[in-house]
Amino acid sequence: MLLPDNIHPENSIYYNGVFVLQELQKEENQHLLDLYQNVRQQQNMSFPIFVLCLDWLFLLGVAELNNNDKVKLCF
């Protein structure tokens, strides 16, 4: 869910997307699974939530996945 209607913002895509962005800002070009492991060191996030965060960032034009399965920061 993008915006939760309960009191658990840690379940939202917006909240978890920040951790993905922070990792991409540290290193702009990371392999998909390496990025997930780096994010999990900071935030206990499930893989489906991680993928939804990436989808959201792709839709915003902030990140992209290249042919080598690396996620790249676009700005």
Q: What is the DSSP string of 46-72?
A: -HHHHHHHHHHHHHHTSEEE-TTSEEE
Residue of 3 and 32 predicted with greater confidence: 32
Q: What pLDDT is recorded for position 69? A: 86
Percent of the chain predicted with pLDDT > 70: 91
Q: Are 42 and 22 in contact (CB under 8 A)?
A: yes
The residue behind tokens 């960032």 is 57
pLDDT at 30 over 70: yes
35-75 pLDDT, tens digit per residue, is: 999 999 999 999 999 999 999 999 999 999 988 889 999 87
Strands 29-31 and 63-65: unpaired
What pTM did the predictor assign? 0.85
| 48: amino acid identity, one letter | P
Number of Cα atoms under 13 Å in the Cβ half of residue 60: 15
